[in-house]
Chains A and B, each alone.
Chain A
């Protein structure tokens, strides 16, 4: 099972902010640098790191860290 702690370094690198602490409730509104442009960088970073692929229709769900974590875990099980 992937945990929040394992996601944090990826977020810190993509958004260039070492102070980022993730919670399940964190959304794109909480991180200033997180917009439609950096969102794609995040998605690609996640795809590379976990060797998974997101469908277009899943990308909006990824704006919420809790749902992101669940979705990645489901993909890792498959």
Chain B
């Protein structure tokens, strides 16, 4: 079920909320939590019920392994060591992810390298598997290191499946979620949270339906076209995707946080105006923050510790490797590995620069960072390296420059080899395309983000009118089904 669908907003969410708080009012807290779990599993099964056993199996398996690790008695003579249980658990999770996500990539790469003709398996990626696998890997690591104290199966299952975050994050940590399901003050209907949650939800809906979906049309046309793009449509294609991705993913995160608040559950913040970043380190403190935290804690640190000594060079290598893996986690393709590698390299350069105490004006740092990120997203979006190369070639002016007909009267432009005509037809664009790109640039670079806006919201008529207008506008545009980009990861 999509957040941006009528069945979610008008049926699923209200029914889930009402039953939840009715059960709580009767002090049936376990029933209320079970209801939330049932609702989350229903939400998950809405697409395809055949993946329900998969997620349930994954939860039971990890819960059991986590329990074995947490209660392991080192003094008793056990046939299996704690470390073997831990490694078996981690390997099983990675194997599950490899099977569903990476098999065809490995087969394709093997065919390419060895010239074999192994058939592809064409396995469908179950929704959310990348997310529920890594949150549970973190749980196993913590159980192994003795950090897991709360071990209630219902709370655990709810932590993994709670529907606002299940499909695309924010990436949760059990230690910040499971106590919330246990605590008492979560259990009373809180009108302020409901109001703020709804406001944040509709802010997110607006970002998704009005902004992201508008850019989506131009980005898709540009990336899918076979004709070579000239300079300006090529840039507008990449910028459209860069804006689409941000409004889509941060809109989704806003909606997830908003829904969480309605249930008095607070999910971690995932975005903090990433396109205002003035450096790559800054960017990753602002973009997909929960992933940055996960990668830092569970990838970068173990890699660095495995090196034995913490030197500057080792740290940089560890950062690069961690980003490479993080890129591959996003998708099974060389373009994702290149994307991760670019960000790893960007971070390495930034850290080196910082170590040398070089200075750079903030505007120049922003310009370099934004363009670097924009170019990296070409690899992120393209279906292959060749596809990315075509867009980048166009952006470099290798397919020439075409401008709007009205500029044809300037002969000095013609003398420079510029042609004139239907300049944006290749990306199904019109004047709205470049105007929207400028508007979006102003929004992301200068305006307050949704978290800053929500902290100023007070229950007033003015806000209510604004909220109704934004939500009504979004409703009108919601006729088409449009999935969130991060569902594919």
Contact = CB atoms under 8 A, between A and B. Distances in A.
Interface of A: 35-37, 39-41, 44, 55-60
A58 B175 CA distance: 10
A57 B315 contact: no
A14 to B, nearest CB: 11
Most B CB contacts (10 A, CB to CB) among A39, A55, A57 go to A57
B110 interface: no
Contacts of A56: 141-142, 145, 297-298, 301-302
B41 interface: no
A57 B310 contact: no
B16 interface: no
B147 A60 contact: no
Given A55-B142, A57-B142, A37 B297 contact: no
18 contacts: A36-B281, A37-B316, A37-B319, A40-B301, A40-B304, A40-B310, A44-B310, A55-B142, A56-B141, A56-B142, A56-B298, A56-B302, A57-B142, A57-B173, A58-B147, A59-B297, A59-B301, A60-B297
A18 B156 CA distance: 45
A57 B178 CA distance: 15
Given A40-B315, A56-B301, A56-B302, 19 more contacts: A35-B281, A35-B351, A36-B296, A37-B312, A37-B315, A37-B316, A55-B142, A55-B146, A56-B141, A56-B145, A56-B297, A56-B298, A57-B142, A57-B147, A57-B173, A59-B297, A60-B173, A60-B296, A60-B297
Interface of B: 138, 141-142, 145-147, 173, 175, 281, 293, 296-298, 300-302, 304, 310, 312, 315-316, 319, 351, 354
A44 B315 CA distance: 13
B147 A55 contact: yes
B444 to A, nearest CB: 21
Contacts, number: 46
A38 B173 CA distance: 23
A55 B147 CA distance: 8
A40 B296 CA distance: 10
B351 A57 contact: no
Could you tell me the dominant secondary structure of chain A's interface residues?
Answer: helix
A58 B293 CA distance: 12
A55 B145 CA distance: 6
Most B-side CB within 10 Å, residue of A37, A41, A58: A37
Contacts of B173: 57, 60
Contacts of B304: 40
A58 B296 CA distance: 12
A29 to B, nearest CB: 9
Nearest to B316: A37
B143 to A, nearest CB: 9
* Interface core residue of B141, B296, B312 (most chain A CB under 10 Å): B296
A69 to B, nearest CB: 18
B151 to A, nearest CB: 15
A55 B304 CA distance: 14
A35 B315 CA distance: 12
Contacts of A57: 138, 141-142, 145, 147, 173, 175, 297
A63 to B, nearest CB: 9
Given A55-B142, A57-B145, A36 B300 contact: yes
Contacts of B310: 40-41, 44
Nearest to B282: A35
A72 B331 CA distance: 39
Contacts of B293: 60
A58 B298 CA distance: 11
B240 to A, nearest CB: 31
Contacts of A35: 281, 351, 354
Contacts of A44: 310
B244 to A, nearest CB: 28
Contacts of B147: 55, 57-58
